[in-house]
Amino acid sequence: MAVYPADILFYEKGTTRQESGALPVEEEVILTVNGQDLVGLMCTPTLLEELAVGFLYNEELIDGMEEVASVRVCGSRRCVDVWLYRDVEVPALRTLTSGCGGGTTFEDLREVRPPLESDLTVTPDQVVRLMRRLQEAAVLYRRVRGLHTSALAEREGLLCVAEDVGRHNTVDKLAGLCLRQNQPLRDRILLTTGRVSSEMLVKAARMGTPVVISLSSPTSLSVELARLRNIALIGYARGDRFRVYAGAHRVIGLHDRY
């Protein structure tokens, strides 16, 4: 369901050849809550129940699985029906987020929130090792490319992994996986291959992850938010190199200039 077969014409140095290949699937999946359409999510149609639960949690529409009566993917796999034990008021303001998949958030990205309280730190060797393991875990990406991979980790290893065409969807899937398995979210390390924009940082803060490590770049607003929320934000973690944009006090051995 996550792979679309395709005939591809390859060009290289003046010659062409046709081969069978594959592409990542992207579809719109409608999330309904208590019988009402909430949002359309452009996503890779895997871990759909986890995506729905994680999205609701990260958008602060639920605080845990104890509020969820049922989660069901419809037969067409084009919608996920979530029923809660209570009514939910959907915020009127939606923000279209940057990046692939055109994500949506109800979060006021500039709302003042308390800084994250955590003693979690990492070493440079752990940063390098964890990012290498994330790339090794990107099984679907190696098959079709065009996907983002994210993971929640402890200092020495990955705990859960999710892949999707939308980088924000990967984080929601991780949250949903942990919630449905009754695993803690707080004091984990969030790893991602995608750019860390503001809504990605807000999701990390909601999940209580004090360290965010990306293969790519942060944005200006995500750096501001990371500094306000006491989160280490590390970008361009490639090979044995990385850049620390905020929260250097959480990286052992580095001087804190933030």
Catalytic residues: 100
Contact indicator for 211, 182 with CB cutoff of 8 Å: no
3-state secondary structure 241-254: EEEEEECHHHECCC
Contact indicator for 54, 174 with CB cutoff of 8 Å: yes
Question: Dihedral through CA 129, CA 244, CA 167, CA 158, nearest 10?
Answer: 30
Determine the Cα–Cα distance for residues 127 and 73; give it in Å rounded to an integer. Answer: 36
3-state DSSP helix/strand/coil percent for the chain, to nearest 5? 25, 35, 40
